[in-house]
Amino acid sequence: MIFVQQAGRNTHADIIASLELFAAEVMPVLKADQAARDARRQAELALHIGAALKRKTWMRPLAPDAVPPIPAYGCSVVAGEGTPNGLSARRGGGINIPSEDPSERVRAAGDDQPRRGIRTV
């Protein structure tokens, strides 16, 4: 269903009244018939779905060692060869990605005081 209620000279009050009327009178009928419509639709489609599944060529199950492990992108950036200043250009377009948070270096040094240009969390 498509509602076009803001066309013409409908006021906000008219639109709200129309939506409330729809919710009170039409929606309950639609909801009550939904289970019956779903059951009819499944019955109509069952033959076609069964035929399609019979035609399907199923893939053999993979052995656990047949799927190579793929590291998370962030881990691969950190583990990769970095460039100066802890940057790694492993992303397309040559955009450098920081491989570590500068605020973590500040915390590791035992200095929790914010420094100019470095915001600690």
At 3-59, the pLDDT tens digits run 676 677 888 888 888 889 999 999 998 888 898 999 999 999 999 999 999 999 999
Q: Rounded to whole angstroms, how far apart are CA atoms 99 and 77?
A: 7
pTM of the model: 0.33
Residue 87 pLDDT > 90 = no
Q: Rounded to whole angstroms, how far apart are CA atoms 93 and 78?
A: 18
pLDDT at 104: 72
**Angle (nearest 5°) at CA 105 between 78 and 110:** 150
Ranges 37-41, 61-65, 81-85, 93-97: which has the least confidence: 81-85
Q: Which amino acid is at 20?
A: E
Q: Rounded to whole angstroms, how far apart are CA atoms 118 and 121?
A: 10
- SS3 call for 88: strand
Residue 120 pLDDT > 90 = no
Residues 6/15, Cβ–Cβ less than 8 Å: yes
What are the φ/ψ torsions at residue 66 (nearest 5 degrees)? -85, -10
Domain boundary assignment for the chain: 1-58, 66-108
